Structure 1
Amino acid sequence: MTTAHITSSSGPSTLADALVGRRSLATDAGLVAGGAGVVALFAQISVPLWPVPVTGQTLAVLLVGAALGARRGALALLTYAVAGLAGLPVFASFTGGPAAIFKPSFGFIVGFVFAAALVGWLSERKWDRHPGLAFLGFLGASIVPFVFGLPYMAFVLAHLGMAHDLDTIVAAGVTPFLLGGAIKWLIAAASLPLIWRASGRA
């Protein structure tokens, strides 16, 4: 009588798993907290604009989501949002507090959770290890915050009695971010395949 042993040759599903090794609840919690901390740090790389500041958050969201995977990446960004709403100064310009939910920019923070989940899901399927797929995946994830952020911005501006027509929303919530967003997308999409290659685990 023989026993079949099923083994997996697919290797680690995320960069974090490749670098950290054995997974545990404590390890996952540490990675989630660390991911939230990275986003908080990058949020302070900020050019204050109204109604949405230009920050380094999107780059951090893409890197954290890709490195941690869908579930942990989304949890890291959810942890970041909750910490900010609880009053920790993790949002841009060291701000925080429940009043942030009434800012026109808060919809982008909501979108970050889903962006991290998307790029993490793609990375679990090895998109982040191949330059072509990485560029496509990170581009898609870069768009996700705008899907949430722009309608939220229009809603808040409307309730503030301010202009919220399509031209205004595009001028305030899209145009200022095109160049910086493209740079952050390219950095994230180019760096992950290189890191995988350097790790020898791709």
Structure 2
Amino acid sequence: MNINIDSYCYIRENVFEKIQRTKTVDKIVMAILMAFLTGILAQIVLPLPWIPVPITGQTLGALASGLFLGKRYGALSQIMYILGGVVGIAWYGEMTSGLDILLGSTFGYFIGLVLAAALIGHFAEKYSESRKFKKMFVLMSIANFGCVYIPGLIGLTVWMYSTQGAFPDIITLFMMGLAPFIIGDIFKIGIAAGISKVGLPK
């Protein structure tokens, strides 16, 4: 049993170190793959008729990108995801694409994906202690509810003003842009923190 655990820990550390030391071209390829993963997860959609922003799985892709690729290339993967959708790859939520989708009600949330991947990537590549489940759960909660929702709610406010001619009140904004996502986001954060515990060396 100890041999198996030792082998697992060795392989886990060796793979992580190889990813960190690999060539720039290989990291760009991995960033593209993580962009595709984010696009796939974005197709897990739970649309709610009373909110303009659907519940999707794409934040899990952003968090995972930071975990495995670090700050720079984790953020790059999300930039690639955003730009890929702009040029016509139908991997935004519900297999949509285009500049009109990017600049719609979800614009701020798209920006938040880049910020969240960068924050998680910074800690994952620099501080091995942060890769433990509890610490990563806290960090991912900050990344998710801070990095994603602050620009997300700002963008939603601007979108509502541009389409309805008035700014929403705080309660309306909260109920449309944050409250419906909390339970699902906690679940996704738990999955991503579990990936960190199992897949990254400590």
Scaled by the length of structure 1, the TM-score of the pair is 0.85
Q: Contact 2:90–2:96 at 8 Å: present in 1 too?
A: yes
Work out whether 1:159 is the aligned partner of 2:158.
no
Work out whether 1:100 is the aligned partner of 2:101.
yes
Unaligned runs of at least 5 residues, structure 2 = 1-9
How far is 1:20 from its partner?
Answer: 4.3
Separation in 2, partners of 1:127, 1:107: 31
| Alignment of structure 1 residues 139-158 onto 2, 5 Å | 139-143=141-145, 144-158=147-161
AA partner of residue 140 (structure 1): I
Residue in 2 that maps onto 1:174: 178
For 1:4-51, what per-residue CA distance to the aligned partner results, in whole angstroms no more than 9, with x for missing partners? xxxxxxx9xx99643647511221111110110110000000112331
For 1:137-182, what per-residue CA distance to the aligned partner results, in whole angstroms no more than 9, with x for missing partners? 1111111100110010010111101662211110011110011011
Q: Contact 1:42–1:60 at 8 Å: present in 2 too?
A: yes
For 1:49-79, what per-residue CA distance to the aligned partner results, in whole angstroms no more than 9, with x for missing partners? 3310000011111111111100000000000
Residue in 2 that maps onto 1:83: 84
| Alignment of structure 1 residues 60-139 onto 2, 5 Å | 60-124=61-125, 125-139=127-141
Q: Contact 1:89–1:95 at 8 Å: present in 2 too?
A: yes
Separation in 2, partners of 1:157, 1:86: 25
Q: Contact 1:64–1:116 at 8 Å: present in 2 too?
A: yes
Secondary structure of residue in 1 paired with 2:91 = coil
How far is 1:83 from its partner?
Answer: 0.7
Q: Percent identity?
A: 29
How far is 1:97 from its partner?
Answer: 0.6
Q: Tell me the matched-pair count.
A: 186
Separation in 1, partners of 2:40, 2:15: 19
Work out whether 1:190 is the aligned partner of 2:191.
no
Q: Contact 2:45–2:57 at 8 Å: present in 1 too?
A: yes
AA partner of residue 181 (structure 1): D
Secondary structure of residue in 2 paired with 1:82 = helix
AA partner of residue 32 (structure 2): A
Unaligned runs of at least 5 residues, structure 1 = 1-10
How far is 1:129 from its partner?
Answer: 2.6
Q: Contact 1:17–1:23 at 8 Å: present in 2 too?
A: no
How far is 1:127 from its partner?
Answer: 4.5
AA partner of residue 137 (structure 2): F
Q: Contact 2:35–2:77 at 8 Å: present in 1 too?
A: yes
Instruction: Kindly report structure 1 stretches of 4+ aligned residues shifted beyond 6 Å.
Output: none
Separation in 2, partners of 1:159, 1:147: 19
AA partner of residue 143 (structure 2): A
Q: Contact 1:75–1:113 at 8 Å: present in 2 too?
A: yes
Q: Contact 1:51–1:172 at 8 Å: present in 2 too?
A: yes
Separation in 1, partners of 2:178, 2:156: 11
Secondary structure of residue in 2 paired with 1:92 = coil
